[in-house]
Amino acid sequence: MRSIFLIAILAATTAAVLFHGSDAQELMHDHHTERISGTGGDVLEDDPVGKLKVYVYDLPAKYNTEPVEKDPRCLTHMFATEIFVHRSLLSSAVRTLDPEEADWFYAPVYTTCDLTASGHPMPFDSPADDAQRDPADRRALAVLEQVRGRRPLLRHAARLRGLLPFPGGEGHGARDPARAPARHAGADVRAAEPRVPEGRLHHHPAVRAAVEDGGAASAPRPPPRSIFVYFRGLFYDAGNDPKGGYYARGARASVWENFKSNPLFDISTVHPTTYYQDMQRAVFCLCPLGWAPWSPRLVEAVVFGCIPVVIADDIVLPFADAIPWADIGVFIAEDDVPRLDTILTSIPVEVVLRKQRLLASPAMKRAVLFPQPAQPGDAFHQILNGLARKLPHGDDAFLRNGQTVLNWTAGPPRDLKPW
């Protein structure tokens, strides 16, 4: 059996915290870092080369490069991950031109490069009838059928897995997972959906400065974190949810109604030109769900050292085996939003300081961005490391010191079982 691996984007919102007196001085100026360990251990700076091989299907240009040529905005919107992953794979040392030695197969289809006049991808809410599906779903289904028809006939097919990029928080069909394209591709397709960060943010000069200067002793100190809680975004979506109560399951509305007049909360629907500078002045940044659990704000918060306050009960976080989300963030149940001020102000200062130390690590910031070309430790390499760790082989399948050749088809008998 083969598995289709749906790569989906995650990002999140922002929040900030204000402290007074000596505590404030500590929070403003403590920039020491420490080693970072996710659930998989200290693996954030692992090198995936030698641990997996990926075969990239040569699909017709209409599925990938042509849409970008027609609309270059696809390179800078939040779903650009699918493009950057493809481009990075083509020049990566893990790529193989021999399908016989591949661990993973990659189907490069740009499912979200159909942008509206406002620059947003076409709606993902597709009808069950395939003929009425949106362009992204139809393109994905067409690619799945192509891949199923032209897979290399390999001796060890049972061990191999397929990659199909789906840069939406839950993959396409998120509001009704039963209608997602992977569920319609046949019995030999199984979906596993790890989240990866958005692909837009690395273009911004402020982001490059934050990552490049993050570990330099001579780097200018960031501004004092004088904002308690920060958020910019919608609280209600009158256009799509005119009666209210459905958008964000009411969590964003609860933030507004409970804290719009609270002086500790800097929240608004107005998106200022100083947005990123404001995040660097905030201690906590709210990251509530919207129509999906993910949001670009999670990436923004990490990059600018603002402790993410995640309000999304069913969120699945990216690279959890490498990034210690529980150590760098705060997680608030949607039902507990009315107590948000009490919860945040009760967090001990030493806990806040440790979260800030972890967030100050340049490795942490690199891990959620997609620079072009790819760089060691960036989000592309985190994807590869995650895929390598998913393979069912033992330590004997990795290159050892002094080894130059690795038999990619060798392994214990259990590897031949369906994954």
Side-chain-side CA neighbours of 172 within 13 Å: the count stands at 30
Which string of b and e fits 49-75 if b means at least 16 CB within 10 Å? ebbbbbbbbebeeebbbebbeeeeebb
At residue 10, the pLDDT reads 29
**Same-domain check for residues 176 and 87:** yes
The tokens describing 61, both together, are: 């240009």
What's the pLDDT band for 111 if we cut at 50, 70, 90?
A: confident
The string of pLDDT tens digits covering residues 62-80 is 989 999 999 999 888 877 8
3-state secondary structure of 284: strand
Domain boundary among 349, 366, 383: 366
Q: How far apart are the C-alpha atoms of 340 and 259, rounded to whole Å?
A: 9
- Residue 105's pLDDT is 85
Specify whether 65 is located in the same domain as 193: yes
**211 and 120 housed in the same domain:** no
Average pLDDT, the chain: 74
DSSP secondary structure letter of residue 145: H
Mean predicted confidence (pLDDT) in 368-397: 83
357 and 239 belong to one structural domain: yes
What are φ and ψ of residue 384, in 5° steps?
A: -60, -40
Q: Is residue 213 part of a domain?
A: yes
Which pLDDT belongs to residue 35? 60
Q: In this structure, is residue 31 part of a structural domain?
A: no
Q: Report which DSSP code applies to 8.
A: E
Match 């033992």 to its residue by tokens.
394
**CB atoms inside a 10 Å sphere around CB 388:** 23
Considering 366, 386, 406, which residue would you say is the last residue of a domain? 366
pLDDT for residue 126 is more than 80: no
pLDDT classification of 101: cutoffs 50, 70, 90: confident
- On the question of pLDDT at 410 being above 60, the answer is no
Record the tokens describing residue 91, joined without a space. 């020049």
Give domain status of residue 33, yes or no: no
One domain, residues 303 and 339: yes
In this structure, are 215 and 114 located in the same domain? Answer: no
Residue 7's pLDDT is what?
A: 33
- Of 390, 381, 394, 386, the residue nearest 94 (C-alpha): 381
Q: Is residue 17 part of a domain?
A: no
Q: Are residues 147 and 263 in the same domain?
A: no
Task: Among 366, 381, 405, give the residue marking a domain's end.
Answer: 366
What are the two backbone dihedrals, phi and then psi, of residue 229, each rounded to the nearest 5 degrees? -130, 130
- Single-letter residue type at 295: S
CA distance 205 to 187: 46
Co-location of 214 and 357 in the same domain: yes
- CA dist 84 and 70 (Å) reads 17
Assess contact for 286 and 231: CB atoms under 8 A: yes
For 226-275, how does the pLDDT look when each residue is reduced to its tens digit (9 = 90+)? 999 999 999 999 888 888 789 999 999 999 999 999 999 999 999 899 99
**Structural domain boundaries enclosing 78:** 4-10+42-200+369-416
Could you tell me if 226 and 131 lie in one domain? Answer: no
Please indicate, yes or no, whether residues 207 and 196 belong to a single structural domain of this protein. Answer: no
Q: pLDDT band for position 308 (50/70/90)?
A: very high
Looking at the structure of the chain, the number of domains it has is 2
Specify if 25 maps to a domain: no
Domain assignment present for residue 392? The answer is yes
Contacts of residue 274, defined as CB under 8 A and 6 or more positions apart, other chains included, come to none
* Helix, strand, coil percentages, rounded to 5, for the chain: 35, 15, 50
Return the minimum-mean-pLDDT range out of 67-76, 126-135, 362-371: 126-135
pLDDT, mean of residues 176-203: 40
- Alpha carbons 195 and 174: distance in angstroms, whole number: 13
The token pair that represents 110 in the structure block: 């740009």
In a domain, 404, yes or no: yes
Q: What is the CATH number of the domain that holds 285?
A: 3.40.50
Residue 126, amino acid: S
Q: Is the pLDDT of residue 151 over 60?
A: no
Q: 169-173, 176-180, 383-387 — which one is most confidently predicted on average?
A: 383-387
Instruction: Name 271's Cβ contacts closer than 8 Å, sequence gap at least 6.
Output: 232, 233
* 37 domain-assigned: no
Please answer whether residues 397 and 410 qualify as being in contact, where contact means their C-beta atoms are separated by less than 8 angstroms. yes
Burial of 44 (0-12, 13-18, 19+ CB in 10 A): buried
Of residues 418 and 62, more confidently modeled: 62
What confidence score (pLDDT) does residue 42 get?
74
Q: 249 and 109 in one domain? A: no
Q: Is the pLDDT of residue 159 over 90?
A: no
Same-domain check for residues 270 and 392: no
